[in-house]
Chains A and B, each alone.
Chain A
Amino acid sequence: NAGVTQTPKFQVLKTGQSMTLQCAQDMNHEYMSWYRQDPGMGLRLIHYSVGAGITDQGEVPNGYNVSRSTTEDFPLRLLSAAPSQTSVYFCASSSQGISYGYTFGSGTRLTVV
C-alpha cells in the first residue's frame, strides 16, 4: 500500500499560471480533503469530498477547484496562481467518515513568484 500519494513534491509557478496538484490513495477511502499549511495559521481546509462525484468547499476555497471522478483521485487545480497561494499543500483521506482520523500525504511545496 502506498497510502496517500501527492505529486509533485515541489513546484515553482509564475503568477497567473495554472496547474494541478495530484492526490491519489489506494486504500479505497471515501473521504478526501485538501489543506494548505502556512506558518502560524495551522492547516486550513480548502475543499473536501465524501465520495466520488461529491465535493464541498472548506474554509479557504477561493482560487482553487476540485473534482472527484473516481474514489482514488482528488486533484486540486489552481486556476490563476497568485503569490498568496505560496504554501505547503496536504492531501488526506479517511474511511467511514472522520471518526477514524485522516491519513495525510507527504505534501507539495508550492512557490508562486
Chain B
Amino acid sequence: AQSVSQHNHHVILSEAASLELGCNYSYGGTVNLFWYVQYPGQHLQLLLKYFSGDPLVKGIKGFEAEFIKSKFSFNLRKPSVQWSDTAEYFCAAGSGNTGKLIFGQGTTLQVKP
C-alpha cells in the first residue's frame, strides 16, 4: 500500500538552529515527492517538489530536500531557521498522472525567538 511516514511529530528549535525533518515513503513505480507548509490559520503552500533529475531540490524560503532512492527518503532541511518558519510541514508522495497524492502525518515546527 502507498504510504508516507514523517518521523518527527513535534520539533522545537531556537532561531538560527539547523533543521532536518524526516520523510519516508512507500510507493511503487516512479514517484513524485513534495513538501508543503501550513502556517497557522492558512492553507497549504508548496515548498518544493521532486520528480526527476538532481536529487537535491531547492525550494522557497531557503528550504531544500534530498531524494535518496535507496532509503526511500525525502528529508527536508534548512541551515538556519527563523521564528517565521513556525508552521506545520507535510511530506507527500504521488505517481505521475494518477492524480493521487498521499500525505504524511505532518510535523509541527516551533521556532523560539
Considering the chains assembled together, what is the distance between the CA atoms of A94 and B99 in angstroms? 8
- A42-B100 contact given A90-B44, A98-B32, A101-B49, CB 8 Å threshold: no
A99 to B101, CA, bound (A): 10
List chain B residues, Cβ under 8 A from A45: 100-103
Q: Which single member of B43, B100, B104, B105 contacts A104 (CB below 8 Å)?
A: B43
- Nearest Cβ distance between residue A76 and chain B, in whole angstroms? 16
User: In the complex, what residue of chain A is closest to B94 when comparing beta carbons?
Assistant: A98
A73-113 interface bits toward B, Cβ cutoff 8 Å, 1 = contact, 0 = none: 00000000000000000101010111111111111000000
B70 at the interface (CB under 8 A from A): no
* Residues on B with beta carbons closer than 8 Å to the beta carbon of A92: 44, 101
Contact with A along B30-41 (1 / 0, CB 8 A): 001010100000
- Contact assessment for B101 and A98 in the assembled complex, using a CB-CB cutoff below 8 Å: yes
Q: Who on chain A is nearest to B105 by CB?
A: A42
Minimum-distance CB pairs A-B, first 3: A97-B97, A43-B103, A42-B105
A-B contact pairs, 19 of them (CB 8 A): A33-B100, A33-B101, A40-B9, A40-B105, A42-B105, A42-B106, A50-B98, A56-B99, A94-B99, A97-B98, A97-B99, A99-B96, A101-B46, A102-B46, A102-B101, A103-B46, A104-B44, A106-B42, A106-B43
